[in-house]
Amino acid sequence: MLVLNFSDNMGVPKSRHTKSQRNRRRSNIFLKRPNFVSCSKCGKQILPHIVCWNCGYYKGREVINVLEKLEKKERKQREKEIKVQEKTEEKKEKPLTVQELSKK
């Protein structure tokens, strides 16, 4: 007596898949991560050629006023953060003089 077990058989497609369907499925194999750059103003990681969502600057000039849409408490907090970032940038950019070098 012959017993057929249908659970072991492969599924059969009802219709042919086109080349475009096949290629769309395979396109995900070659996806790459986006390339991030640091913002020149605040230093956050952003996509290139995009306005910074944190400070609203693009190519060194303000394009969007980010503080305008925030509430009062959030605005004060963000202004403090920006001042702290500017102070740390000033400290980093200062070149050491000969006298300061001789002290170390």
Residue with tokens 């403090």: 80
- 33 has pLDDT over 80: yes
At residue 31, the 3 state secondary structure works out as coil
Q: What are phi and psi of 99, to 5 degrees?
A: -65, -40
Strand segments (E) across the chain: 37-38, 45-46, 57-58, 61-62
d(CA 61, CA 51): 10
At residue 61, the 3 state secondary structure works out as strand
The pTM score is 0.45
What pLDDT score does 1 carry? Answer: 61
Using an 8 Å Cβ cutoff, are 46 and 37 in contact?
A: yes
Q: What is the CA radius of gyration of the chain?
A: 29
Q: What is the mean pLDDT of the chain?
A: 81
